[in-house]
Structure 1
Amino acid sequence: MTRLTTFPSPSSDVDAVTRPENEPTPDTTPVLPTAPGAADTEVDQAEVDADVAEAEAVVADQAPPKEPAAPVSENRKRAERTAPLFVELASLDPEDPRRERLREILVEEHLPLVRHFARRFSNRGEPFDDLLQVGTLGLIAAIDRFDPTRGVEFLSFAVPTITGEIKRHFRDQGWSVRVPRRLQELHLSLNAAVGELAQKNGRAPNPSELAEYLGIPRSEVLEGLQVANAYRSSSLDERLSGEDDSPTLAATLGQEDAALEGVEYRESLQPLLATIPARERRILILRFFGNMTQSQIAADIGISQMHVSRLLAQTLAKLREGLLKDE
């Protein structure tokens, strides 16, 4: 069975952003969570290396490698080009006006990395622009905290910082209804399993297949699928796309059909109407479908208005009794 990667608590994210010194990622350093509320789980260093290698390929405008790979020449050139900037940035006084310009240059150099991770997470219910903004804040934090004297490449330090900011955003903003961490983790595992099984089988997997694939009871699968409803709520005024002229969610909802509400009553009354005498049935038709007054009905049928009133009351009581019996 394919191993599903789980991730640590968002507290690790804060560590990556706020610690005063950047340090090489040790073998036990956890990869940051893919979504809010992931459990603390240690992973192999190879997984961290794969994430960094992917980032290196993105910065070099190449397709992400499937296996950890050595930095390509363009990355080396970029590192050599930005290394003096990091050294200069670290040497400047916090109030020095040159710091802002250096930060802008370094941010521009590494924005492709932020865009890549924003795209990676954009299919999880949060807008791409929001993720891009949050990831950029993580990049700026990484630039400010990076210590070039420790001999660690910037990407190795920046990747967990950027992804940490994005994943903390999911933790704080993603779930519109707070659910237990166990169910959040289960939701993530199911999302990954659905993608893998759909690609393998050429169709969407059913709950039983997901349960067998993950080695969990089918009831847990159903619970995990149901918890997705708590992930994100939407406003009826929300645009279906990012364009200002796109329709709102409310525009896609059908209008209330008043006539539809009467279908059940008409279907229930039809067999009851067949049981009442023809004269009483005609009185009902003239009163409720012909909109005639009792005096007009009396003149049409040839009886008194008081008699019409009495027959109408008796007939309605009989129909009401029949409806209550059916219930």
Structure 2
Amino acid sequence: MNFAEFISRAGSGRLTAGQQHRLFLMMEAGLVAQAVRHGDLVVATDATTGELDRLIEEGRRAHERLWQSNLPLAMRIAGETGRSRAVASEDLIQAACVGLAEALMRFDPRRGLKFSTYAWPAIRRRVAEELMGGDSSRPVWRRRTECAVDRREMTLTMELGRPPGDADIATDLGVDVAWVRDRRGRRGDVPIGEAWLLEQLMPRGDAAEPDEHWLTEARRQLPQLQRRIIDAHFGLGGRAVPRHRLAAELGISDRAVRRMELRALELMRDLAARHREES
């Protein structure tokens, strides 16, 4: 299957967390079987050549399903990050796909971390690197430090089992929290801790209607100002608006906008959990 065919099948076969976990284990078993089959790994096993070949094929199919299921995440990051940038969308999508492929190969399902949480910074880093050549609005050194922060964010996400905060990254890099906050706060895409909401906005095949229903209901229950902030931040019903621009429009600080985002997201998480329990 070529790249164009992969793209055309993006999002096919939406997977549950349990299904993804099993597929990652199958993919891992396939890679081990392939190493044994080719003599790159010597282990004590009574598996026949046919059994190893079957594991390899199952692992290949598992990888393909994981790729197709998570490709909408990569495409959305590429789309959100590339807005108003002089970079071809095809280039950004390919860069995002490289990040997704790297995340698929490096992810450890045994740590209990959600794959989308781990993949988010990996994909974003590759897209940011693609943008570096076409973005003259910031010095190269500045863009490189932003990529360095992205790389540490990806590593710490796996180590901590959660999205790291500014203080976590600052401690790891040995720099001031303000230095990290400045490099994370200027990026145009959506923060990693909110990746769960983007998943709810992605096409889900037969499951699209109930997810759209709870999201609409959750938005309806938000106070008007919080609803406006969420809509603007995630581009619901229109184009996403950077936080600093939204703060200027509302006449409040960036920090105040962020606080209201967090309150709104917490309410939506509660509503999402209630929706899952009822369904």
**TM-score category by the smaller chain?**
0.3 to 0.5
Indicate the structure (1 or 2) with the bigger Cα radius of gyration.
1
Relative contact order (alpha carbons < 8 A, sep ≥ 6): 1 or 2 greater? 1
TM-score scaled to structure 1, two decimals?
0.33
